[in-house]
Structure 1
Amino acid sequence: MLNLEEKEKNILDRGIDILLFIGVPLGLIALWEILSNKGVINPSILPAPSEILKIVNEMLSSGELVQHLQVSILRVVKGFVIGSTLGIVVGTLMGFFPKFNRSMMVIVGVLRPIPIIGWIPLLILWMGIDEGSKVTVIAIGSFWELLLNTIHGINTVDKKYLEVATILEKSKITTLIKVVFPSALPSILTGIRLGVAGAWKSVVAAELIAATSGIGYLISYAREISQPGVMLVGLLTIGLIGLLIDFVILRVQSKIIR
């Protein structure tokens, strides 16, 4: 009897969660549509959801949205691979070797607070407005998240594991691969999630300032010609892609950690 009640309670809780997950966004969209139709919201500033949907259909039919999205995704992949690899490597060295950590603390402390948008003018001066500057901006945006989370993961490894590895006279490489990395993996995966988000923010910042294609360019150009609907389509596309990537990473993370 108790098990049956628990199952019914779990089903009810799950139903409420699904209702909240779907119902709240749909309710806000419906309210937005109603206020737009009644003239409470100025459509020249914030178009109605139905109007935005029409714009999405038009941009998908013409292939414009897909084209800009493909360009941005390719830049994000390139920059994230470079930034995350460097972040994990440097983070591992800083976390595993105290002397290297001390030698890098001042450099990291000075460079880390610099906002992404602050690097863009300098990178354009050094590298021009080609792909190299944009990929570098994305790499910087994802680098710090992987660096800090890798250091944190290594620093929180149970000291008993390290002591056992020392007693068994394991080499540093073996200790790193067999003990440190598995223990630090949850933190590194969290860094990957944050790094992907940082990469998307960075690509939009780079494309807003110096680009002729990409979602950031689409938003910037729509602003210049006063098309708020297109701007919202670009922003919502970034948000949906980011949500999808975050969901995939969470699923992979749960399976790997398990």
Structure 2
Amino acid sequence: MELYGYQVPKMAALLVWAVIWEIIGQFELVMLFPPFTDVLMAIPDVITTPSFFEAARITVLSYLGGLALALVIGVSLGLLMGLVKPADALLNMWVNVFLSAPLSALVPVIMILFGMGMPTVIVTVFMFAVWIIALDTRAGVLHVSSSLLEMSASFGASRWQRMKIILLSALPEILAGFRLGVIRGVKGVVIGQLLVSIIGVGALFALYSQNFLMAHFWALILILFGFALGLAELIGRLEQRVEYYAGARS
């Protein structure tokens, strides 16, 4: 980021918001926002409690289960839409509808179908993440160069070998969709645990808010943000390592 001819690190924007937060907290302008320094000091208290480790275990298992399911179904659905035009005409509208729909409203319906507990949270994570993965995979498949497929056919490639070429060529978009799905999945796991049965981090959010432990409440949110952004950054670095596939398509 460039400001008045000077290169400013991207983290500077976060520092500005942290200073504003600290000022609001110190002057007690809003009761729900304690000083940012109090939130930072509450992080060790949050992560060292036994309840946090149990909540983290439940949350991570639910999150990874839903995300793995979303990756498998999303990539498969995107391949189907990108390769089969009738399937794309049938499914594309519905995928876009679910992507833009307020999925939080569907959580009670999911709860009725799957009961109270971890299965509902897994399905909620899946619902939040799968659609963006499917659409980005579809976009990647549609950008595969026809010359690559013609060359594979001329060399007598098998169906599996042609599918491998398509997957590798669409890999940048697949990873981009997965990175966005990772972030949306964090939202899904929190909403699922809050609205369904108050398990995992949802139980901690409820505990802190009911007892007005707002520093601990925001500390838990920062931990979740750090978790989501850390995963997204790892996938982003993997995207950079496979960018040459996108360049080979042009």
1:198-231 alpha-carbon deviations (Å, 9 max, x no partner):
1111111111112333223322332333332222
Return the offset for 1:142.
Answer: 1.3
> Over aligned residue pairs, what C-alpha RMSD do you find?
2.4
Task: Give the equivalent residue in structure 2 for 1:36.
Answer: 25
Task: Give the equivalent residue in structure 2 for 1:203.
Answer: 189
Match of 2:70 among 75, 78, 83: 83
Q: Give the TM-score, by structure 1 length.
A: 0.82
Provide the C-alpha distance between the structure 1 equivalents of 2:45 and 2:99, rounded to a whole number of angstroms.
Answer: 41
Provide the C-alpha distance between the structure 1 equivalents of 2:98 and 2:19, rounded to a whole number of angstroms.
Answer: 45
1:175-195 alpha-carbon deviations (Å, 9 max, x no partner):
111x21111110001011011
Contact 2:25/2:34 (8 A) holds in 1? yes
Provide the C-alpha distance between the structure 1 equivalents of 2:97 and 2:241, rounded to a whole number of angstroms.
Answer: 37
Provide the C-alpha distance between the structure 1 equivalents of 2:89 and 2:47, rounded to a whole number of angstroms.
Answer: 52
Task: Name the CA shift for 1:54/1:174 in 2 (closer, same or farther; >3 Å).
Answer: closer
Letter matched to residue 196 of structure 2: A
Contact 1:216/1:234 (8 A) holds in 2? no
Provide the C-alpha distance between the structure 2 equivalents of 1:222 and 1:35, rounded to a whole number of angstroms.
Answer: 20
> SS of the counterpart of 2:48?
helix
Task: Give the equivalent residue in structure 2 for 1:118.
Answer: 105
Provide the C-alpha distance between the structure 2 equivalents of 1:24 and 1:106, rounded to a whole number of angstroms.
Answer: 37
* Bigger radius of gyration among the two: 1
Deviates more, 1:204-213 or 1:58-67: 58-67
Return the offset for 1:117.
Answer: 0.8
* In the alignment, structure 1 residue 251 sits paired with structure 2 residue 237: yes
What runs of 5+ residues in structure 2 fail to find an aligned partner?
A: 1-5, 245-250
> SS of the counterpart of 1:20?
coil
> SS of the counterpart of 1:129?
coil
Letter matched to residue 14 of structure 2: P
1:53-90 alpha-carbon deviations (Å, 9 max, x no partner):
33223223323334323321221101000111011112
Provide the C-alpha distance between the structure 2 equivalents of 1:102 and 1:50, rounded to a whole number of angstroms.
Answer: 53
What runs of 5+ residues in structure 1 fail to find an aligned partner?
A: 1-15
Return the offset for 1:31.
Answer: 4.6
Q: Give the TM-score, by structure 2 length.
A: 0.84
Task: Give the equivalent residue in structure 2 for 1:58.
Answer: 45
Letter matched to residue 161 of structure 1: L
Question: Would you identify which runs of 4 or more consecutive aligned residues in structure 1 move more than 4 Å?
Answer: 109-112
* In the alignment, structure 1 residue 239 sits paired with structure 2 residue 225: yes
Letter matched to residue 41 of structure 1: L
